Structure 1
Amino acid sequence: MTEVVAALLCRENRFLICQRPPHKKRGLLWEFVGGKLEAGESQAEALIRECREELGIEIKVGKKYMELTHIYPDITINLILFQGEIIQGEPQLLEHKDFRWITVEEIPEYTFCPADKEILSRLMEFGLQGS
């Protein structure tokens, strides 16, 4: 099983989503910023590194929002979503095709990676304040 960390970054009642590059598996689907842990990294270290590499931002990792396991045809992941806060920089497109700050009400307008479905349901039920 592959351990994956992701960040729920919020700003003014919106949260950040990123569109995967077209050449990657699940290309053009939307997701939370993050990625796989590298050998010897803590979850927080991996998330900080991924945000720096993918968006050019520095974040502070907060509490765990949700953890789940998802089985894709090519990989099984244990996905841990943390609350996070941008402490330096503005997101840049270093890895993704696009990114957006969206409201919970806008979730149905985007096609997300299947692993995020449970997280999105929780966000739609409880909102960002329930996070």
Structure 2
Amino acid sequence: MIKVVAAVIRRGQKILICRRPEGKNLAGYWEFAGGKVEEGESKRQALVRECREELGITLSVGAEIFRAVHDYPQYSVDISFFDCTICEGQPVAKEHSRIEWVGADELKDYQFCPADGDLIEILSRGQSGI
């Protein structure tokens, strides 16, 4: 089981999404910024590190808003999603082919990684508290 963290980064009514680059597993799918939790690292530390590496930003990490376990054919992920805001920098797609700010009602227009599916459903319905 791979432990993964993901940032639901908000700016006003928009959420930042990232497209996986060619040559990577699940290339072309959209996701939230984040990545694997390394040994000795907390979930929050991993999220701050990953977003600095992937987007060149410093995050303020809020509450864990959702958790999902998903089985892919070759591996399983345990992914924790956190509500986040940017405290420093402007996001740049350093490791993704594209990044976009979209409204919650637009999320279903994008093809997300399967592990993100349940959260996309909740966010797109505008459920309060998430």
- Taking structure 2 as the reference length, what is the TM-score of the superposition? 0.96
- The alpha carbon displacement at 1:33 in A equals 0.2
The match for 2:96 is: 96
The match for 1:130 is: 129
Q: Any gaps of 5 or more consecutive residues in structure 1?
A: none
The match for 2:68 is: 68
Q: How far apart, in 2, do the equivalents of 1:25 and 1:74 lie?
A: 11
For residue 96 of structure 2, give the secondary structure of its aligned residue in structure 1: coil
Structural mapping, 1:1-131, within 5 Å: 1-127=1-127, 130-131=129-130
- The alpha carbon displacement at 1:126 in A equals 2.8
- The alpha carbon displacement at 1:109 in A equals 1.6
Q: Any gaps of 5 or more consecutive residues in structure 2?
A: none
Count how many residue pairs are aligned between Structure 1 and Structure 2: 130
For residue 130 of structure 1, give the secondary structure of its aligned residue in structure 2: coil
| CA RMSD, 1 decimal | 1.0
Percent pairwise identity: 42
- Poorly superposed stretches of 4+, deviation over 3 Å: none
Question: Which AA in structure 2 matches 1:35?
Answer: G
Q: Is the 8 A contact 2:29 2:112 kept in 1?
A: yes
For residue 18 of structure 2, give the secondary structure of its aligned residue in structure 1: strand
- The alpha carbon displacement at 1:124 in A equals 1.6
For residue 74 of structure 1, give the secondary structure of its aligned residue in structure 2: coil
Q: How far apart, in 2, do the equivalents of 1:92 and 1:80 lie?
A: 23
- Taking structure 1 as the reference length, what is the TM-score of the superposition? 0.96
Q: Is the 8 A contact 2:105 2:126 kept in 1?
A: no
Q: Is the 8 A contact 2:4 2:34 kept in 1?
A: yes
- The alpha carbon displacement at 1:130 in A equals 3.0
- The alpha carbon displacement at 1:93 in A equals 1.4
Q: Is the 8 A contact 2:14 2:104 kept in 1?
A: yes
- The alpha carbon displacement at 1:108 in A equals 2.2
